[in-house]
Amino acid sequence: MQTNEFSFELITQDEHARLGKIFTPRGKIDTPAFMPVGTQGTIKGVFTDDILKTETQIILGNTYHLLLRPGIEVLKKFNGLHNYMNWEKPILTDSGGYQIMSLSKFNKIDKNIGAIFKSHIDGKKIILSPEKSIQVQKAINSDIIMVLDECPKLTDDKKVLSNSIDISTHWAKRCKTEFGNNKSKGLFGIVQGGLYKDLREESINKLVEIGFDGYAMGGLAVGESQSEMLKILGDTTKFLPKDKPRYLMGVGTPSDILGAVNHGIDMFDCVIPTRSGRTGLAFTWDGKLNLKNSRYQTDTSSLDANCSIRNLRSFSKSYLNHLIKSNEMMASMIISLHNINFYQEFMLEIRNNINRGTFSTFYKKYIDYFN
């Protein structure tokens, strides 16, 4: 279905697990969906054409990093990130909120001004206001734009978390105003509130009152346990609008994703497939394989006998073990591509099982498989 407007269709549910489609002018996204992370305009160590062959339908870019380098004036010359990196499908951009937390030693927060940064590259002072974040994402030409939020580090201090909700809600309103009436793109609000059900419900209600095209669960995957994360999702996703996509930011392992889908989440992103690839860790239908291990030194079998992308099935575990021990970059390239392909196969199986009404069986089989 070709469309000029952003929209979401919920097709069916298997208990809480949801099967849907997001429609954008650059193509559809089947949900539950996984987005490989291209923080600086590239999926680390993987060619764009190869990403397309994995049936990836959307990737993630980062506002903060792209603002610093290559800079917005460069991206404007290419009419955005798609042309710049030769990617024709949808892009979602993080607003820079996570960097406010992760690079906290370089910044300070002002509710009225925004985040005041010192660039981690050259120390230059940068002000990232809610309006600036939206302006940058428009210059990137993102298909899904995230509001700027204040994401606190893991804490049980309700005062800190309440203050985060206050700032994030204020910024969300300003982002909505700056975004304007643009039906071709989606604007997502970001829920805060830590591991407290009442605070999450408060944050959701305030964001729903403003009104967004989708809603993200922020402030998770910041150090809490998987069980804590899944419990708060189970307690709070029911407060989210049923007719809007739900995005869990920065998650995760296959079992994290499976657990979150079980609580009604539709979208995911994480660096794990490529970061693991760079350390020799492969995700397979046989579980996680640490290809550094000497047990693979003479193993003639391939990682995935059924994978035809870049003819990955022709590379033996023995050969990959050799490349890793020789510090050859080809090892990380092969394993990273393999991992992204596996993640997309995993998401396809999740969708197929939701559609067949067999998600519970699939969930029980794999929820602890990759831990």
DSSP state of 288: E
Q: Give, for 328, the enclosing helix (H) or strand (E).
A: none
pLDDT score, position 106: 63
Whether 49 is catalytic is no
Measured CA to CA, the distance from residue 81 to residue 351 in angstroms comes to: 29
Give pLDDT, residue 119.
82
What is residue 29's predicted lDDT score, i.e. its pLDDT?
98
Is residue 85 situated within a structural domain? yes
Are both 299 and 256 inside the same structural domain?
no
149 is catalytic: no
Residue 128: which pLDDT band, with cuts at 50, 70 and 90?
very high
| CATH code for the domain in which residue 129 is found | 3.20.20.105
Residues 187, 330, single domain; the answer is no
Tokens at residue 116, please?
Answer: 């005041």
285 and 142 share one domain = no
Whether pTM > 0.95 for this model: the answer is: yes
User: 317 and 195, same structural domain?
Assistant: no
Q: What is the pLDDT of residue 105?
A: 64
Min mean pLDDT across 16-30, 115-129, 341-355 is at 115-129
pLDDT band at residue 306, thresholds of 50, 70 and 90?
confident
Pairing outcome for strands 186-191 and 214-217? parallel
Contacts of 60 (CB under 8 A, 6+ apart): 35, 36, 37, 38, 39, 91, 92, 93, 94, 269
Which of 371, 317, 313 minimizes the C-alpha distance to 342?
313
313 and 259 both lie in a single domain: no
Which residues lie across from 282 on neighbouring strands?
289
Q: How many CB atoms lie within 10 A of CB 174?
A: 18
Does residue 353 sit within a domain?
no
| Number of domains making up the chain | 2
Question: Is residue 107 over pLDDT 80?
Answer: no
In a domain, 345, yes or no: no
290 and 235 part of one domain: no
Catalytic, out of 94, 149, 256, 304: 94
Q: Are residues 185 and 329 in the same domain?
A: no
Closest CA to 216 of 62, 130, 94: 94
Tell me: cis bond preceding 130? Omega within 30 of 0 counts. no
Position 280 confidence tier, pLDDT thresholds 50, 70, 90: very high
* Contact yes or no for 23/3 (Cβ under 8 A): yes
> 302 and 261: one domain?
no
Residues in CB range of 352: below 8 A, 6 or more apart: none
Q: Is residue 2 part of a domain?
A: no
Give a yes or no: residue 113 inside a domain: yes
Same domain, 286 and 261: no
Q: How confident is the model at residue 3 (pLDDT cuts 50, 70, 90)?
A: confident
- Indicate whether 121 and 33 sit together in one domain: yes
Residue 357 located in a structural domain: no
Q: Are residue 219 and residue 313 in the same domain, yes or no?
A: no
310 or 17: which carries more pLDDT confidence?
17
**Pair 247, 267: CB distance under 8 Å:** yes
pLDDT above 70 for 102: no
Question: Does residue 356 fall inside a structural domain?
Answer: no
Least confident span in 102-111, 206-215, 235-244, 320-329: 102-111
Residue 290 structural domain? 280-337
One domain for residues 264 and 284: no
- Whether the pLDDT of residue 22 is over 70: the answer is yes
Q: What is the mean pLDDT of the chain?
A: 95
- Total count of residues recorded for the chain: 371
The Cα–Cα gap between 343 and 51 comes to 12
**Which of the residue ranges 36-45, 54-63, 97-106 would you say has the lowest mean pLDDT?**
97-106
| Residue pointed to by tokens 């059924």 | 306
Among 56-70, 107-121, 217-231, 317-331, which stretch is predicted with the lowest mean pLDDT? 107-121
Q: What is the mean pLDDT of residues 130-150?
A: 97
Q: Which of 143, 149, 256, 269 is catalytic?
A: 269
pLDDT for residue 104 is more than 90: no
Evaluate whether residue 225 is within a structural domain: yes
Alpha-carbon distances, residue 257 vs 22, 44, 360 (angstroms)? 18, 21, 14
